[in-house]
Amino acid sequence: MVTAYDFPSAVHVARAGIDIVLVGDSVAMVELGHDTTQPVTLDQMLHHCDSVKRGLNFAGSPTPLLVGDMPFGTYEYDDTDVALRNAYRFVKEAGCDAVKVEGGSVARAKTVKKLVEGGIAVMGHVGLTPQAISVLAGFRAQGRTAQRAREVLDDALRLQDAGAFACVIECVPSNVAAAITDTLEIPVIGIGAGGETSGQVLVYHDMLGMLSHPHHEQFVPSFCKKYAFVGHAIQDGLQQFKSEVENGSFPGVTYSPYVMGEDEKKMFAELLSADEKERQRKHDAAAKKLVQADEYEQLKLYGSQSASPNEDGEK
Among 170, 185, 262, 297, which one carries the catalytic annotation?
A: 170
**Is 76 part of the annotated catalytic residue set?**
no
Going along the chain, which residue ranges are E strands?
Answer: 2-3, 20-23, 65-69, 98-100, 122-127, 166-170, 188-191, 199-200, 212-213, 216-217
Rg (CA), the chain: 28
Residue 135: closest CA among 53, 72, 62: 72
Considering Cα of 262, then 266, then 271, then 273, what sign does the dihedral take? positive
- Cβ(21)–Cβ(123) under 8 Å? no
Non-local CB neighbours of 250 within 8 Å, separated by 6+ positions? 241, 244
Report the DSSP beta bridge partners of residue 212.
Answer: 217
Rounded-to-integer distance, Cα 267 and Cα 289, Å: 32
- Cβ(235)–Cβ(213) under 8 Å? yes
Rounded-to-integer distance, Cα 173 and Cα 311, Å: 77
- Give catalytic residue positions: 170
